[in-house]
Chain A
Amino acid sequence: MTSIASIAAPSQAGFNVRRIREDFPILRQTVHGKPLVYLDNAATTQKPRAVLDALTAYYSEDNANVHRGVHLLSERATQAFEDARATVQHFINAASTREIVFTRNATEGINLVAQTFGRTRLGPGDEVVISAMEHHSNIVPWQMVCEEKGASLRVIPITDEGALQLEEYERLLGPHTRLVSIVHLSNVLGTINPVQQIIATAHRRGVPVLIDGSQAVHHMTVDVQALDADFYVFTGHKLYGPTGIGVLYGKEGLLEGMPPYQGGGDMIKSVTFEKTTYNALPYKFEAGTPNIAGAIGLAAAVGYVTGIGMDRISAHERELLAYGTAALSGVPGLTLIGTAAEKSSVLSFVMEGVHPHDIGTVVDQEGVAIRTGHHCAQPLMQRLGIPATARASLALYNTREEIDALVAALHKVRELFT
């Protein structure tokens, strides 16, 4: 491997990436005979031992259904599940556990808001404002409810660098705007949107805002009260937690006024064939047996990252992004996609004369896992005028040496295709 800078990354006080890597058993393997270099973290992150142990401990010792059993195991499971909710509440600084709804993922959180808040608030001629850099999960749920209600989508344009055009955003907000729904950190561009400002602008016109934080919560400190977000969604598996568990934060006053999403057990207070009374928050939105182990695993993941410190993680990833940006810029024929001033953790790129799919296959043979394709953001690809990108995305366990391995693999790509 040709190393453009084989010196060890400068270690911050208390942040030892070598030691952190030991917490992730999956990273020890080789693929195609090469050490695994996992740079597909925006798709999903790997899980630390703390999360794996929490899942095993729950299923080995406490497994029972929650909120209904009088037996000891059910009490322990209920306690662990509700403790997990409190852990998430503190993690994003929500005012109350009543504001923390467990979902399957961020997508379900957005669909929940679209189908409850959206369906009751939207009418003919109304508008929902999103942006040109949204993931399909923050486009399609709004299209579905807009179509049903005769409302329409308005889209904030972006600059060629991949930043939102905020003056256009202000212009889009009008008397018919009922909701703004914006990604916090773009999965394709890495752009960090100024969500605090976006929310303040909307609130001056009385418009609530949903923030899709799937790519943000594991890279930076998120305080939903400081942001004054009305809704904030994220998924567990990008935050080093299990798949199948996500979080919808909603301000209590808004959640109170929304009808339930799905009907079933757990979301009711009492049921007769004549009338059903719905349960209190957050249970009103959690029909059926929840993903108990998932919530417990997510809480373990939150405990893991907060134990290290979000500020330290951010600093490590910022340093790595700067290193990666410089290293990739030195590869002949490579163009970075997404160069906004405020960005984090994502290095999207294209290479002259080589399709991203071919890049992905060649670097995989070198042990380097990256994502290639449209990243579930086809309208963004159309805006950028490209069919696809290759994307390396960073996590707390990545190192400079891994960036070097990517760069070396990209030189092999050029060797093969030019």
Chain B
Amino acid sequence: MSDLRELYQEVILDHNRRPRNFRAIEGANRHAEGYNPLCGDRLSLYLKVEDGMITDASFQGSGCAISKASASMMTDSVKGKTLSEARGMFEQFHQMVTGNADPLAHPERLGKLAVFEGVRNYPARVKCASLAWHTLRSAVDAKDEVVSTEAE
């Protein structure tokens, strides 16, 4: 079980049980849909963007613990960030879960999100962790389309 705890860290299990920002936003001005055809996970992401800054973020949908916790923590962490900062966070998160960056090299950049580092050892689960982030990028870039984890 010790190996599994690396993937399913307590923080992740907690966000899975009690996802934050699990709602729609009245007056959201950015919205994107995410879909992982491999497992059927669906995610609706809502952003309220004012003067280039994300003032509120939320999500709805169904998914596994990794994808739900990832969406929950992501929506928490992008609040108060500019769109360009959010894009940067996408890049860093993506590099971390695909094993291309060491989160400990710049711990300040991803903060709490570093709990998803263990995902890199589970190739089948990388897309679960990155679905919310792909959807965020789509909302930030204001593309009005369903993003798929298979369209990378």
Contact = CB atoms under 8 A, between A and B. Distances in A.
- Is A bound to B? yes
Interface of A: 32, 354-358, 361-362, 365, 372-374, 378, 381, 387-388, 412, 416-417
Contacts of B128: 357
A388 B8 contact: no
A116 to B, nearest CB: 30
Contacts of B38: 373
B124 interface: yes
Nearest to A382: B40
A374 B40 contact: yes
Contacts of A356: 39, 64
Q: Which 3 A-B pairs have the closest CB atoms?
A: A355-B64, A357-B64, A387-B40
Interface in B1-21: 1, 3-4, 7-8, 13, 16
A361 B125 contact: yes
A365 B121 CA distance: 12
A357 B3 CA distance: 17
A147 B13 CA distance: 46
User: Interface extent on B, as a size class?
Assistant: 20 to 34
Contact of B41 (A32, A387, A416): A387
Given A372-B39, A388-B40, A365 B64 contact: no
B124 A361 contact: yes
Contacts, number: 52
B40 A358 contact: no
Which of B64, B122, B124, B125: most chain A CB closer than 10 A?
B64
Contacts of A378: 40
Contacts of B41: 357, 387
9 contacts: A355-B62, A357-B66, A365-B1, A374-B39, A387-B40, A387-B42, A388-B39, A416-B4, A416-B13
Nearest to A381: B40
Contacts of B42: 387
Given A361-B125, A373-B39, A378-B40, A355 B65 contact: yes
A295 B13 CA distance: 49
B103 interface: no
Contacts of B7: 361
B63 interface: yes
Contacts of A372: 39
Contacts of A355: 62-65, 68
Nearest to A412: B1
A361 B3 CA distance: 11
B3 A32 contact: yes
Given A32-B3, A416-B13, A357 B39 contact: yes
Contact of B4 (A354, A365, A387): A365
A261 B27 CA distance: 55
Contacts of A361: 4, 7, 122, 124-125
A354 B65 CA distance: 8
B34 to A, nearest CB: 14
A381 B40 CA distance: 10
B64 A416 contact: no
Given A358-B65, A388-B40, A417-B16, 15 more contacts: A354-B65, A357-B66, A357-B125, A361-B4, A361-B124, A362-B4, A365-B1, A373-B38, A373-B40, A378-B40, A387-B39, A387-B41, A387-B42, A416-B8, A416-B13
A186 to B, nearest CB: 18
Contacts of A358: 8, 64-66
Contacts of A374: 39-40
A354 B66 CA distance: 11
A44 B1 CA distance: 28
A136 to B, nearest CB: 11
B61 to A, nearest CB: 10
Interface centre among B1, B4, B7 (most CB of A within 10 A): B4
Contacts of B124: 361
A361 B1 CA distance: 12
Contacts of B63: 355
Contacts of A365: 1, 3-4
A225 B40 CA distance: 40
Nearest to A372: B39
Nearest to A413: B4
